[in-house]
């Protein structure tokens, strides 16, 4: 039921973004200059990589231009028979769309070099760039430990997954994993996307009490249908937070300990940030055992600033990349979970010393 | 007597019973939440002697403050289970305020501030304070739910019959409500 409500809610946000035009913006404009630390990293580690990257870009640009030329000149040899074939079928009363498949095939052939360049750009630069933010590792095709969080309620059931941009690391004793994730579930006739966005798994150095879920608000009726039998609703004091989220927990008091007034403000700020930066459409998080799972839904594509038509030496997009990386790697600090961990570790040590 | 008459008599009785059960269940939830505060306050009361022990050797100039905290802690321990809730809340608030002052005063003693055991004690204290705050918010939420149940018709009639009264909310002390005088901080 909650999957259906989630899909319904996402459709609503998508329509709103189409209506206000934000869905058509590829990237958010960033006026903030690069930080000194990032500039130094570019000078020392990034610039030496730019020459081979630029050579690769020129090669792929030439391939794309050549493919486009041939697609325009000789594409008709493929699409014209397909069109005639479809029209003949249409005349006999059947609907065939082979011309669309031919067009799609030609389009992929043309843009494939661009996709290769984007992938190569990420593979070369990202492992270097993430190091500016601390002890982080980047893997273009990696994925969070889905098996470890599969049993959590916020993780929807799915039959197919695709993932990219895996970043992992450690911040103040908290293990961090992030990846962009798309989860689909097969239906009778077609597949439904049950999640698209960023998934973050945090492994805390202490045990959380109870089981607390901060889910999206689906309205009174929707929340009633999505409610869990095991957890009770936690009514919180922040009206804006209550408007955007629905909280339930097995431990009312501990849920309020986790969701202090300041934490509620931080989660609201995080939600707002992703809505503004990545066409975000809401977030949910779950606290259980020693894990925190954050599922941030968004329609945008983070960490994808490479442009085949722009020289690799042109570093105009790096401020955006820096901000997106800072946004992802700064999640623990943004939510001040490092303080929470430090306090709880001190409590554990104090208890064992008694 | 027809089935309709029986139903007309039974339905209001069932509804009244459901409302009564809901009031009692909410009162129990509020009492449970209140005992949650007690647990956390006990943790704080147990922690205070450790902090005072670490602080006393460095903070000779804060003797009055340390004595005030010791006295308030003893009063809180005496008051638990005996004094009226409002009186006990006031004592706890005083103790919390004095502890806040102590932790601010620690800033003036760099040697104490850098002590590892003081840092740990401060972290533990901050965590206990967070738990107390959460327990109070939990109690206030449960208290509000109970208050609504006994003040909304027909709950007010049932409450009057059973002699139920609302439980007090935890509120900040008057001193915390006053605007902060930034000038006095800057001058000192």
We report the CATH number of the domain holding residue B24 as 1.20.1440.20
In a domain, B135, yes or no: yes
Average pLDDT, chain A: 85
In a domain, B181, yes or no: no
* Residue from B29, B46, B123, B131 to probe the interface with A (highest A Cβ count within 10 Å): B123
Tell me the pLDDT tens digit for each residue of A118-157. 888 888 888 888 887 888 899 988 999 999 998 898 899 8
Whether residues A152 and A120 fall in one domain: no
Whether residues A204 and A222 fall in one domain: yes
CB of B43 less than 8 A from some CB of A? no
Mean pLDDT by 10 residues, chain B (188 residues): 85 89 91 86 87 81 85 83 69 87 85 81 90 91 91 87 83 56 49
pLDDT of residue A168: 93
CA angle A85, A91, A97 (to 5 degrees): 45
Residues of chain B in contact with residue A248, where contact means CB-CB under 8 angstroms, are none
Domain boundary among A133, A164, A187: A133
In a domain, B8, yes or no: no
Whether residues A151 and A102 fall in one domain: no
- What's the pLDDT band for A278 if we cut at 50, 70, 90? confident
Contact B141 A252 (CB under 8 A): yes
pLDDT of residue B82: 60
pLDDT of residue B39: 86
CB of B42 less than 8 A from some CB of A? no
State the sign of the Cα–Cα–Cα–Cα dihedral A209, A210, A211, A215. Answer: negative
Residue written as token pair 């994730």: A181
Tell me the pLDDT tens digit for each residue of A156-212. 989 999 999 999 999 888 999 999 999 998 888 788 889 999 999 999 999 999 999
pLDDT of residue B185: 45
pLDDT of residue A26: 58
Whether residues A75 and A109 fall in one domain: yes
Q: What is the mean pLDDT of residues A284-297?
A: 93
Give the whole-angstrom CA distance, residue A256 versus residue A251: 9
Give the whole-angstrom CA distance, residue B107 versus residue B168: 36
Whether residues A40 and A9 fall in one domain: no
Give the whole-angstrom CA distance, residue A204 versus residue A83: 59
Whether residues A125 and A153 fall in one domain: no
Domain boundary among A102, A133, A164: A133
Tell me how close the Cα of A275 comes to any Cα of chain B, in angstroms: 29
pLDDT of residue B188: 43
Whether residues A171 and A291 fall in one domain: yes
Contact A257 B126 (CB under 8 A): no
Domain boundary among A133, A156, A179: A133
Number of structural domains found in chain A: 2
> Does A226 have pLDDT greater than 80?
no
Outline where DSSP puts E strands in chain A. 136-139, 160-171, 174-186, 191-203, 211-216, 232-233, 245-249, 280-288, 291-298
pLDDT of residue B37: 85
Number of structural domains found in chain B: 1
Residue with the bigger pLDDT between A19 and B100: it is B100
In a domain, B150, yes or no: yes
pLDDT of residue A25: 64
In a domain, B39, yes or no: yes
Residue with the bigger pLDDT between B146 and A48: it is B146
Whether residues A106 and A229 fall in one domain: no
Q: What is the mean pLDDT of residues A40-66?
A: 86
State the sign of the Cα–Cα–Cα–Cα dihedral B20, B24, B25, B26. Answer: positive
Whether residues A127 and A184 fall in one domain: no
| Residues in CB range of A102: below 8 A, 6 or more apart | A78, A79, A82
pLDDT of residue A294: 92
Tell me how close the Cα of B4 comes to any Cα of chain A, in angstroms: 33
| Residue A307 belongs to domain spanning | 2-25+135-353
Give the whole-angstrom CA distance, residue A325 versus residue A46: 16
Beta-carbon contacts below 8 Å between A and B? 45
| Residue B113 belongs to domain spanning | 16-170
Number of Cβ within 10 Å of residue A141's Cβ equals 12
pLDDT of residue B186: 45
Tokens at residue B4, please? 């309709």
Whether residues A129 and A260 fall in one domain: no
Tell me the pLDDT tens digit for each residue of A91-100. 888 878 888 8
Residue with the bigger pLDDT between A83 and A220: it is A83
Whether residues A161 and A296 fall in one domain: yes
CB of B141 less than 8 A from some CB of A? yes
Residues of chain A in contact with residue B25, where contact means CB-CB under 8 angstroms, are none
Tell me the pLDDT tens digit for each residue of A244-255. 999 999 999 999
* Residue from A173, A205, A350 to probe the interface with B (highest B Cβ count within 10 Å): A350
pLDDT of residue A7: 72
- Quote ipTM for the complex: 0.78
Give the whole-angstrom CA distance, residue A114 versus residue A184: 26
In a domain, B100, yes or no: yes
């Amino acid at each position: 039921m909650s999957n259906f409500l989630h899909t319904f809610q996402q459709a609503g946000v998508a329509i709103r973004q189409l209506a206000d035009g934000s869905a058509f913006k590829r990237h958010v404009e960033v006026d903030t200059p690069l930080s000194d630390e990032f500039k130094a990293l570019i000078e020392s580690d990034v610039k030496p990589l730019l020459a081979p990257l630029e050579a690769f870009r020129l090669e792929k640009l030439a391939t794309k231009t050549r493919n486009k030329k041939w697609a325009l000149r000789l594409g008709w040899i493929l699409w014209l028979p397909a069109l005639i074939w479809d029209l003949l079928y249409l005349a006999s009363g059947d609907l065939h769309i082979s011309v669309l498949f031919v067009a799609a095939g030609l389009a992929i052939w043309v843009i494939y070099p661009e996709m290769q360049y984007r992938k190569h750009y990420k593979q070369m630069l990202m492992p270097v760039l993430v190091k500016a933010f601390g002890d982080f590792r980047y893997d273009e095709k990696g994925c969070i430990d889905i098996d470890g969080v599969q049993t959590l309620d916020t993780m929807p059931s799915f039959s197919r997954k695709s993932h990219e941009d895996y970043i992992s690391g450690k911040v103040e004793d908290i293990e961090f994993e992030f990846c962009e994730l798309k989860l689909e579930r097969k239906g009778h006739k077609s597949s439904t996307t049950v999640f698209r966005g960023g998934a973050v798994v945090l492994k805390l150095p202490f045990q959380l009490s109870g089981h607390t879920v901060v889910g999206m608000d689906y309205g009174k009726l929707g929340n009633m249908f999505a409610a869990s039998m095991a957890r009770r609703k936690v009514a919180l004091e922040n009206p804006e937070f209550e408007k955007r989220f629905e909280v339930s927990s097995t431990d009312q008091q501990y849920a309020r300990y986790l969701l202090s007034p300041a934490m509620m403000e931080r989660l609201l700020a995080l939600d707002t940030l992703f809505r503004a930066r990545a066409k975000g459409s809401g977030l949910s998080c779950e606290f259980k055992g020693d894990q925190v799972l954050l599922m941030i839904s968004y329609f945008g594509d983070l960490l994808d600033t490479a442009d085949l038509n722009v020289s690799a030496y042109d570093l105009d997009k790096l401020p955006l990349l820096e901000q997106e990386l800072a946004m992802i790697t700064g999640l623990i600090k943004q939510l001040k979970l490092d303080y929470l961990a430090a306090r709880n570790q001190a409590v554990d040590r104090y208890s064992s010393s008694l | 007597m027809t089935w309709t008459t029986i139903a007309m008599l039974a339905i209001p009785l069932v509804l009244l019973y459901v409302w009564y059960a809901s009031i009692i269940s909410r009162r129990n939830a509020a009492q449970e939440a209140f005992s949650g505060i007690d647990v956390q306050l006990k943790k704080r009361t147990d922690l205070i002697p450790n902090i005072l022990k670490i602080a006393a050797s460095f903070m000779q100039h804060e003797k009055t403050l340390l004595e005030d905290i010791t006295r308030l802690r003893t009063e809180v321990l005496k008051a638990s289970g005996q004094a009226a809730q409002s009186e006990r809340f006031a004592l706890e608030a005083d103790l919390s305020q004095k502890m806040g002052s102590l932790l601010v005063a620690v800033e003036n003693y760099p040697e104490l501030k850098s002590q590892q055991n003081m840092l740990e004690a401060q972290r533990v204290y901050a965590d206990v304070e967070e738990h107390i705050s959460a327990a109070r918010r939990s109690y206030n939420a449960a208290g509000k739910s109970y208050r609504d149940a006994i003040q909304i018709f027909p709950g007010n009639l049932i409450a009057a019959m059973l002699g139920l009264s609302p439980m007090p909310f935890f509120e900040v002390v008057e001193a915390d409500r006053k605007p902060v005088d930034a000038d006095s901080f800057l001058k000192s």
